[in-house]
């Protein structure tokens, strides 16, 4: 340095001195080595799991070096989310993207799926349930024999029919896996109509309520999903048509021929006549259809059973598929009023109509149909697309529907909460009226008047 005379001679001298001292030092190393300090180990572990799950979800399901993996028809929730956002319903862009990727991964992990979409979200106390709805591929085989009425097999409708037309998976969100729910049972649906309870977020939680529910929370959740789907799954008029093929199942529908179908206009979508029910309706038995008596062999059913089933079927006929919304709660509609007390229709967004080259007119308005019976159920339509979604606590409400005009009672199966989600809850008893005032009655043994008795004691034995 004395010969070269660098500009930073002092800095080089300090660096050389530090190197010589460090090389000649033979003591114990300093205790403060560079270590990564984690304040919350559990939170850091969850963060690492979330990062790994997010990477796996966003990764394409196919191996780049192998042939592309064929998935089922996964509904594009990213496009539907834009429509729902205009109607005031949504999850946010980041969560919407994660839901779409999670549905794609669920489709890649289940090869038996034919269709898949996001059904909605049921809010719980500890955690929520994201619900996915799917259709399984048809399995080869002939038609199964009808189950005997009252048997355990009769309690569950066949896969692809009635309340089991679709299969459902639930997830707590985040890095939680998708768990398939059991099939819907008619006895659970009937019992769920008498129970009003919030979900806890645990599928194995007991359902402590009055009346008693014969199952865990997973069964109650599945029953509520079946009830909501049967009432609130809608489609525009003409989009579906009954499937009359020989191999088709009961209440099956299919898409109409595109050449003969015209999507309803914007003004027509704002009326109930342009919307139809696209799911089988539930009967009082918890099923969607009555058993076909002609399918049973002679002697299988007794005369009493046949007469009872015939009388029940005549008292409550099964509803037809693709029925109109105007028939819902028609008895509660005031005289001279139009529409239905069960539904509310509103138009959002830009209501203008624009004409493009070629003379085609287009509007970006959003038509939303909301259920007044199941708050949180919504169907939206824009252009030539429509979608259904449910976001709510999974309970039926009568606060938005007028009571019965004759009896004054609220909507059926809309009682107060039968469970406070606490240990051994009991439903509150009916409030008793104040007892009426007691009327004065005459003394059954009135005293003798003074004319008959002088007020002295009278002993019959002494008188004798």
pTM for the full model?
0.79
Q: Which residue has the higher pLDDT, 229 or 425?
A: 229
pLDDT at 421: 43
At 216 the pLDDT is 95
What does the alpha-carbon distance between residue 217 and residue 228 come to, in Å, rounded to a whole number?
Answer: 16
Pair of tokens at residue 377: 């159920």
Percent of the chain with pLDDT over 90: 36
For the chain, give the mean pLDDT. 83
Which pLDDT score is estimated for 239?
92
Length of the chain: 464
Burial of 224 (0-12, 13-18, 19+ CB in 10 A): buried
Can you say whether residue 375 is alpha, beta or left, with left for phi > 0 and alpha for psi between -120 and 50 degrees?
beta
Closest among 195, 124, 221, 128 to 417, alpha carbons compared: 195
Flag the least confident range among 233-242, 252-261, 387-396.
Answer: 252-261
What's the confidence (pLDDT) of residue 356? 76
What is the mean predicted confidence (pLDDT) over 4-30?
A: 79
What's the average model confidence in pLDDT over 408-427? 54
> Mean of the pLDDT values across residues 296-307?
84
Residue 141's pLDDT is 62
List pLDDT tens digits, range 70-127: 678 888 899 999 999 999 999 999 899 999 989 988 998 888 899 999 999 999 999 9
Out of 24-38, 204-218, 324-338, 388-402, give the one with best mean pLDDT: 204-218
> What's the pLDDT band for 448 if we cut at 50, 70, 90?
low
Out of 136-150, 156-170, 290-304, 334-348, the most confident range is 156-170
Query: Mean pLDDT across the stretch 233-240?
Result: 93
44-48, 108-112, 172-176, 412-416: segment of lowest average pLDDT: 412-416
pLDDT value of residue 426: 43
What's the pLDDT score for residue 178? 93
Q: Is the dihedral of CA 419, 421, 425, 428 positive or negative?
A: negative
* pLDDT the model gives residue 368: 95
What pLDDT is stored for residue 390 in this prediction?
96
Calpha distance 392→225 (Å, rounded): 11
CB half-sphere exposure, 426, CA atoms < 13 A: 3
pLDDT for res 226? 96
pLDDT in the model for residue 220: 95
Closest CA to 381 of 368, 370, 362, 364: 368
Confidence (pLDDT) at 420: 43
């Amino acid at each position: 340095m004395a010969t070269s005379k660098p500009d930073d001679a002092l800095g080089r001298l300090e660096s050389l001195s530090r190197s010589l001292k460090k090389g000649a030092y033979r003591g114990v190393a300093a205790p403060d080595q560079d270590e990564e300090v984690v304040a919350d180990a559990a939170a850091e572990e969850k963060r690492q799991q979330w990062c790994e799950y997010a990477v796996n979800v966003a990764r394409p399901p196919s191996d780049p070096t192998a042939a592309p993996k064929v998935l089922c028809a996964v509904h594009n929730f990213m496009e539907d989310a834009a429509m729902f956002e205009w109607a005031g319903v949504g999850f946010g862009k980041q969560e919407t993207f994660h839901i779409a990727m999670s549905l794609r991964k669920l489709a890649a992990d289940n090869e038996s799926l034919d269709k898949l979409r996001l059904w909605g979200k049921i809010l719980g106390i500890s955690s929520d349930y994201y619900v996915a709805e799917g259709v399984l591929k048809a399995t080869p085989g002939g038609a199964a024999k009808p189950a005997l009425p009252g048997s355990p097999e009769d309690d569950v409708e066949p896969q692809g029919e009635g309340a089991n037309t679709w299969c459902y998976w639930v997830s707590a969100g985040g890095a939680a896996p998708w768990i398939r729910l059991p099939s819907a049972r008619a006895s659970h649906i009937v019992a769920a109509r008498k129970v009003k309870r919030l979900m806890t977020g645990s599928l194995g939680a007991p359902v402590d309520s009055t009346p008693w529910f014969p199952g865990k929370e997973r069964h109650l959740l599945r029953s509520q999903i079946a009830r909501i789907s049967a009432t609130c799954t809608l489609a525009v008029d003409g989009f579906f048509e009954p499937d009359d093929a020989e191999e088709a199942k009961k209440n099956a529908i299919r898409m109409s021929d595109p050449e003969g179908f015209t999507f309803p206009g914007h003004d027509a979508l704002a009326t109930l006549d342009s919307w139809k029910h696209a799911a089988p309706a539930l009967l009082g038995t918890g099923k969607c259809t009555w058993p076909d008596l002609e399918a049973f062999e002679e002697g299988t059913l007794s005369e009493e059973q046949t007469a009872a089933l015939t009388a029940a079927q005549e008292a409550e006929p099964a509803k037809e598929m693709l029925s109109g919304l105007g028939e819902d709660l028609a008895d509660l509609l005031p005289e001279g009023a139009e529409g239905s007390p069960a539904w509310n229709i509103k138009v959002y967004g830009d209501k203008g109509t624009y004409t493009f080259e070629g003379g085609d007119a287009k509007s970006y308005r959003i038509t939303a149909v909301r259920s007044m019976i199941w708050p949180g159920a919504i169907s939206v339509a824009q252009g030539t697309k429509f979608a259904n979604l449910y976001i709510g606590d999974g309970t039926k409400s009568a606060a938005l529907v007028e009571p019965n005009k004759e009896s004054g009672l609220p909507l059926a199966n809309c009682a107060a909460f039968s469970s406070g989600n606490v240990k051994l809850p009991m439903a509150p008893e009916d409030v008793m009226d104040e007892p009426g005032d007691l009327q004065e009655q005459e003394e059954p043994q009135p005293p003798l008047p003074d004319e008959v008795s002088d007020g002295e004691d009278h002993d019959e034995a002494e008188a004798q």
